[in-house]
Structure 1
Amino acid sequence: MNNTILSSEFQDYLKSIEHEDFKKIVLKKSPFESISSAEIAQQLKGLQVSKYKFPTLYKTKNIFFPPSINLEQASSEATANYKSSIIEGKTLIDLTAGFGIDTMAFAKRFSKVYHIEKNKELSEIVKNNTSILTPNVDVYSNSFQDFFEQHSELKFDVIYLDPARRNSGGRKFILEDLEPNILEWIPTFFEKSDKIMIKLSPLLDISLTLEQIIHISEIHIVALKNEVKDFLILLDKNNTLKNPIIKAINLESNQTNFQFNFFDEIDAIASYGSVSKYIYEPNVSILKTGAFKLVSEKLNLTKLHQNTHLYTSSEIMNEFPGKIYEVEHEIRNPKKEITKMKANMLVKNFNQSIDSIKKKFKIIDGGDTTLIFTQSMNGFHILKTSRIY
Structure 2
Amino acid sequence: MNVDNTKSEHLKAGATIVDNVIVNSTVWKYLDDHADDDIDSLALHAKLPWKQGTGESNAAVKTPRCPDLAWVLQQISGRQIATRKLPSWAATPHLLYPSRVPMEQCSSQQAAEYKAHLVCTLVGQLSDARNATDTRNASESFTFADLTGGFGVDFATIAQKAHHAYYVERNEQLCTIVSHNLQQLGISDRVEVHHRNAKDFLAAMPAVDVIMLDPARRDAHGNRTYALADCEPNVLNLLENLAQKAHFVLLKLSPMLDWHKTVDDLAPFATEVHIVSVKGECKELLVVLDMRRTTHDYQREHLDRLVCADLTDQSQQPLTREGGTCQQFAQKADFALTGSPSSFARIFTVKGSTQMKTVTPVRKQTDNLEGQLLWEPNASVMKAGCFGAFAQAFSLEALEENSHLFVGGRLEIASTIPAKGFVIEQVSGFAKKDLRQLTSQLTHANIVVRNAPFTPVSLRKKLKLKDGSDITVFATTNAHGEHVLIRAKRIASSEPLVSDNLNIPWG
TM tier relative to shorter chain: over 0.9
Residue 357 of structure 2 corresponds to residue 267 of structure 1 = yes
Alpha-carbon deviations, 1:94-125, whole Å to 9, x = none? 00001100110111111111000111111010
**Aligned equivalent of 1:388:** 491
Partner amino acid for 2:360? A
CA distance in 2, matches of 1:217, 1:30: 54
Contact preservation (8 Å) 1:264, 1:294: no
Superposition pairs of residues 292-307 of structure 1, within 5 angstroms: 292-307=387-402
Moved more, 222-231 or 369-378: 369-378
Question: Secondary structure of 1:83's partner?
Answer: helix
Question: Secondary structure of 1:122's partner?
Answer: helix
CA distance in 1, matches of 2:374, 2:252: 33
CA distance in 2, matches of 1:201, 1:174: 9
Residue 171 of structure 2 corresponds to residue 129 of structure 1 = no
The percent identity for this pair of structures is 29
**Aligned equivalent of 1:336:** 436
Residue 348 of structure 2 corresponds to residue 258 of structure 1 = yes
| Greater gyration radius | 2
- The match for 1:25 among 30, 42, 58 is 42
**Aligned equivalent of 1:40:** 72
**Aligned equivalent of 1:198:** 251
- The match for 2:88 among 37, 50, 56 is 56
CA distance in 1, matches of 2:30, 2:191: 29
**Aligned equivalent of 1:247:** 307
CA distance in 2, matches of 1:351, 1:65: 46
**Aligned equivalent of 1:181:** 234
**Aligned equivalent of 1:352:** 454
Residue 169 of structure 1: how far off its partner (Å):
8.4
CA distance in 2, matches of 1:245, 1:12: 49
Partner amino acid for 2:82? S
Aligned pair count? Answer: 387
Moved more, 214-223 or 272-281: 272-281
CA distance in 2, matches of 1:3, 1:12: 19
Moved more, 42-51 or 263-272: 263-272
Moved more, 242-251 or 253-262: 253-262
CA distance in 2, matches of 1:114, 1:171: 28
Partner amino acid for 2:452? F
- The match for 1:16 among 22, 29, 33 is 33
Alpha-carbon deviations, 1:278-310, whole Å to 9, x = none? 100111011111101111122110111011101
Contact preservation (8 Å) 1:6, 1:63: no
Residue 86 of structure 2 corresponds to residue 86 of structure 1 = no
Contact preservation (8 Å) 1:202, 1:231: yes
CA distance in 2, matches of 1:66, 1:251: 25
Alpha-carbon deviations, 1:15-47, whole Å to 9, x = none? 111121122222234322122111111111111
- Provide structure 1 residue ranges, at least 5 long, that are not aligned to the other structure: none
Moved more, 278-287 or 26-35: 26-35
CA distance in 1, matches of 2:106, 2:289: 23
Residue 367 of structure 1: how far off its partner (Å):
2.4
**Aligned equivalent of 1:220:** 274
Alpha-carbon deviations, 1:182-227, whole Å to 9, x = none? 1111111111112111011111112111211111111111110011
CA distance in 1, matches of 2:208, 2:445: 54
Partner amino acid for 2:75? Q
Contact preservation (8 Å) 1:91, 1:110: yes
Partner amino acid for 2:308? A
Alpha-carbon deviations, 1:256-294, whole Å to 9, x = none? 311013523553133211346110011101111110111
CA distance in 1, matches of 2:275, 2:489: 28
Moved more, 162-171 or 237-246: 162-171
CA distance in 1, matches of 2:101, 2:42: 18
**Aligned equivalent of 2:24:** 7
Contact preservation (8 Å) 2:303, 2:353: yes
> What RMSD over aligned residues (CA atoms) do the two structures have, in Å?
2.1
**Aligned equivalent of 1:324:** 421
Partner amino acid for 1:370? T
Alpha-carbon deviations, 1:21-79, whole Å to 9, x = none? 12222223432212211111111111111112112221111111111111111111211
Partner amino acid for 2:149? A
Question: Secondary structure of 1:352's partner?
Answer: coil
Question: Secondary structure of 1:109's partner?
Answer: coil
CA distance in 2, matches of 1:169, 1:371: 40
Residue 345 of structure 1: how far off its partner (Å):
1.1
Q: Are residues 192 and 202 of structure 1, via their aligned partners in 2, closer, same or farther at CA, if it must alter by over 3 Å?
A: same
Q: Are residues 55 and 371 of structure 1, via their aligned partners in 2, closer, same or farther at CA, if it must alter by over 3 Å?
A: same
Q: TM-score if structure 2 supplies the norm length?
A: 0.72
Alpha-carbon deviations, 1:312-368, whole Å to 9, x = none? 016433222110011112235344232883211121112322222122222211123
**Aligned equivalent of 1:142:** 196
Contact preservation (8 Å) 1:341, 1:363: yes
- Provide structure 2 residue ranges, at least 5 long, that are not aligned to the other structure: 1-17, 52-65, 124-141, 320-345, 493-507
